[in-house]
Structure 1
Amino acid sequence: MPSNSVEGTWDLIVSTPIGKIEAVAELRNQDGVLTGFAHGAGETVPLTDIVLDGDRLTWKQAITKPLRLNLAFTVAVDGDTMTGTSRAGRLPGSKVTGHRRVARAGSEHRP
């Protein structure tokens, strides 16, 4: 995996004014294009407009729980960690931290 790869499963914590929200982001490279989904609050949503520029990763996602919001993420990726912000429209940005899950030897499953 290249050093600038963001592929994998990421455990995220978004620190919002209403408390910390835990989510999982899955990022994959399909034919040279980054794709992904986020899981949290009982729903799974697609990630859109995913762009990796050096160590800067951005994406958008629409959620319906706990509120209906369109979120825009901007994070810096350093190895297996990411830090940055998530913004919902004009609301203040929320701090985002994430850690990539490390696959255990022999536990990786590929369809």
Structure 2
Amino acid sequence: MAQIDGQWDCEVDSPMGKQQSLLTLTASGTGFAGVASGPLGSVEITNGQVLGDQLSFKMAITLPMPMTLDCEARLIGDDRIEGTVDTGAFGRFPLRATRRG
């Protein structure tokens, strides 16, 4: 299983500009849980799944409007995550994260 425990500086390119957050991830069984914290507050990371170097997870946000974000990504080496955030009707946007020191 990919080693995802830790803190990750995350950036998503969205129509509202670059959205930055801190992901705090903790492995649990064959999956993971965590929290994404940013300027609009914190949100729980749920349904975290790991298959090899492939990651998927969800975040139910309330700001700027309520929606569930479906995230799919790949762990690259031990220090990068790259993937997409699917917002449904608003489209898919690139996600990049780097492990904190």
TM-score (norm. length: structure 1): 0.81
Measure the CA separation in 1 of the matches of 2:100 and 2:50: 19
Equivalent position SS for 2:90:
coil
Residue 91 of structure 1: how far off its partner (Å): 2.1
The amino acid that maps onto 1:38 is: A
Identity rate, percent: 29
Equivalent position SS for 1:38:
strand
Equivalent position SS for 1:47:
strand
Which consecutive aligned stretches of 4+ in structure 1 deviate over 3 angstroms post-superposition?
none
The 8 Å contact of residues 41 and 66 in structure 1, kept in 2 or not, is answered as no
The amino acid that maps onto 1:24 is: L
Q: Which has the larger radius of gyration?
A: 1
The structure with more strand, counted as a fraction of residues? 2
Unaligned runs of 5+ in 2: none
The amino acid that maps onto 1:47 is: I
TM-score (norm. length: structure 2): 0.89
Measure the CA separation in 2 of the matches of 1:44 and 1:22: 12
Unaligned runs of 5+ in 1: 103-111
Q: Which residue of 2 aligns with 1:71?
A: 69
Q: CA RMSD in A?
A: 1.5
The amino acid that maps onto 1:11 is: D
CA deviations over 1:8-51 (Å, ceiling 9, x no partner): 10110000122110011111124x25221111133111111100
Residue 92 of structure 1: how far off its partner (Å): 1.4
Measure the CA separation in 2 of the matches of 1:16 and 1:36: 22
